[in-house]
Amino acid sequence: MLAQRFRRVFEKRGYGLAALQDPRVACLLGLAPEDLMREMRVVTEGGVYGGADAAVYLAKQVWWAWPIYATSKLPGLGYVFRRGYRWLADHRSCTSGTMQTQESHDAQR
């Protein structure tokens, strides 16, 4: 899982990770459980970012990921990032704490 892989990178910058399945997260964000699982979220003092916007926000915080942030600001590419994230999110499944794409899930059947 990417969140676990980059946990230390973001904890060094003052960010903590919480499982979207945690009931406290649903309460904090005011979302139904099925809405929580649609996309990752980043909660900041300035607001809540979701999906591709959350990934781009986090990329801006890390020097080696900054090109992702910069690329997303080029005309039309923010839209492409959002569509790509949405497609990936719609074609994955989460079971027993692991996430996989729908295609790899279907292949295991």
At 96 the three-state DSSP class reads coil
Going by pLDDT thresholds of 50, 70 and 90, the confidence category of residue 102 is very low
Specify whether the CB–CB gap between 91 and 103 falls below 8 A: yes
Cα 68 from Cα 62, distance rounded (Å) = 10
Q: What is the pLDDT of residues 18-77, one digit of tens each?
A: 888 888 888 888 888 778 888 889 988 889 999 999 999 999 999 999 999 999 999 999
Q: What pTM was computed for the model?
A: 0.75
**Structural domains counted in the chain:** 1
Range of the domain at 8: 2-108
What DSSP line would sit under 43-85, residue for residue? EETTEEEEHHHHHHHHHHTSGGGHHHHHHHTSTTHHHHHHHHH
